[in-house]
Amino acid sequence: MSDDLKPTYTKKGEAFERDMDYIGDRILAGDSSADPDDAAYGGRADVRVWPVEPGRYRLVAAPACPWANRSLIVRHLLGLEDVISVGLPGPTHDKRSWTFDRDPGGVDPVLGIERLQQAYFNRFPDYPKGITVPAMVEVESVAVVTNDFPWITHDLFFEWKEFHCEGAPDLWPPDLREEMEAVMKRIFTEVNNGVYRCGFAGSQETYDAAYERLWTAMDWLEERLATRRYLMGDAITEADVRLFTTLVRFDAVYHGHFKCNRNKLTEMPNLWGYARDLFQTPGFGETVDFEQIKAHYYVVHTDINPTGIIPAGPDPAVWETAHGRESI
């Protein structure tokens, strides 16, 4: 990879700040959101509405990426596999971002493109921002619809209900909504994004502050999960999906690569049991590819792992061991 194509993630002397300005279009079942609490969740009035239509869209979601992993899990939990197809970019890329290098001929078999970047440029020829996953792409036009990852999973639940499988979980229970929103906000700012704030810190001071925030939140989660099987009680919700994709990457990547090394996930009994419980639940573990996860972080992040060496461990077999959470 030439130096001008190497992506960079750290800025010397600066704290990491995630750009959350995504393509805000929505795929809705009607003219407005089916979620009665949409306004409270931060709905935007300036977005284009696309219709729910089986077969019209392809979810492009790299298994390596935690934000994309969320959408793969929710698609599976809700039984939408035959309604929304999926494209799976490989784990390594340059500044131009995600490629379909693991598909035959290096081309997505449905979209017919080599890089997800092409779908962005088909919609926005001068798209100035990062090419991110997950992304919903319209199959016919091969143009990106949205890459706004929190809304993608939200809308898979609320807008595609007509096509959910029998017995699909209630990922957004109304009676828990207010508390769940607060839990998810803390998980995102302090844990999902907190590991990146540690890993991409540009100074000792910003790293130290990020590290303290992360472990304060991890200890809060360890305590919360001492008395409940899942984050919101006795059933899986969207909050669990959002936390899981960070936890499943923790020991393999974030502990060492991102310097989140106070202790391993396996050394936190409640979080470790909880994470294995989810991993062994249909819809979770089968979306996890540790080989791709490690390849992405250790190869792509050249500014924090310049050798590109991928560690051999840890052994993924530990995820299949008994978790003992059934009685909580």
Is 215 annotated to bind a ligand? Reply is no
| Residue with tokens 């607060």, as numbered in its chain | 182
Beta carbons within 8 Å of 263's beta carbon, 6+ residues apart: none
Res 31: pLDDT: 87
Select from 286, 313, 311, 314 the least CA-distant residue to 299. Answer: 311
- Side-chain-side CA neighbours of residue 190 (13 Å): 16
Say if residue 169 is preceded by a cis peptide, omega within 30 of 0.
no
Q: Cα 237 to chain center, whole Å?
A: 15
pLDDT for 144 = 98
Instruction: Say if residues 238 and 157 touch (Cβ distance below 8 Å).
Output: yes
- pLDDT of amino acid 270: 98
Q: How far is 130 from 138, CA to CA, in rounded Å?
A: 19
Cα 107 from Cα 99, distance rounded (Å): 8
Identify the burial level of 175 via C-beta atoms within 10 angstroms of its C-beta, where 0-12 means exposed, 13-18 middle and 19 or more buried.
Answer: exposed
Which active-site residues does the annotation give? 65, 196
304 alpha-carbon distance from chain centroid: 21
Q: Which domains does the chain have, with CATH numbers?
A: 26-163 (3.40.30.10), 176-320 (1.20.1050.10)
Tokens of 50: 């696309």
pLDDT score, position 9: 79
CA-to-CA separations, 187 to 163, 181, 216, in angstroms, rounded: 29, 10, 11
3-state SS assignment for residue 49 = strand
Q: Which of 90, 94, 92 is nearest to 104 (CA)?
A: 90
Task: Walk along the chain (328 residues) and give the pLDDT tens digit of each residue.
Answer: 555 567 777 888 999 998 889 999 999 999 889 999 885 544 566 789 999 999 999 999 999 999 999 999 999 999 999 999 999 999 999 888 899 999 999 999 999 999 999 999 999 999 999 999 999 999 999 999 999 999 999 999 999 999 999 999 999 999 999 999 999 999 999 999 999 999 999 999 999 999 999 999 999 999 999 999 999 999 999 999 999 999 999 999 999 999 999 999 999 999 999 999 999 999 999 999 999 999 999 999 999 999 999 999 999 999 999 999 999 9
Residues in the chain: 328
pLDDT of residue 94: 87
d(CA 197, CA 219): 17
- Starting from the edge strand earliest in sequence, which strands make up the sheet with 85-87, in order? 85-87, 57-60, 135-138, 143-146
Nearest one of 78, 243, 238 to 173, comparing CA atoms: 238
CA distance 228 to 243: 15
Can you tell me the distance from the alpha carbon of 111 to that of 318, in angstroms, rounded to the nearest whole number? Answer: 37
**Token digits of residue 152:** 């993608």
DSSP helix/strand/coil, 155: helix
End-to-end Cα separation, the chain, in angstroms: 50
Residues sharing a CB contact under 8 Å with residue 134, sequence separation 6 or more, in sequence order: 59, 60, 61, 65, 67, 68, 70, 71, 72, 147, 149, 152
Q: How far apart are CA 132 and CA 134, in angstroms?
A: 6
Q: What pLDDT was estimated at residue 39?
A: 59
Is residue 296 within 8 Å of residue 91, measured between CB atoms?
yes
Cut 0.85: pTM above it:
yes
Rounded CA-CA distance 258/35 in Å is: 36
Instruction: Tell me how far CA of residue 141 lies from CA of 3, 118, 162, 246, 278, in angstroms.
Output: 33, 11, 25, 33, 37
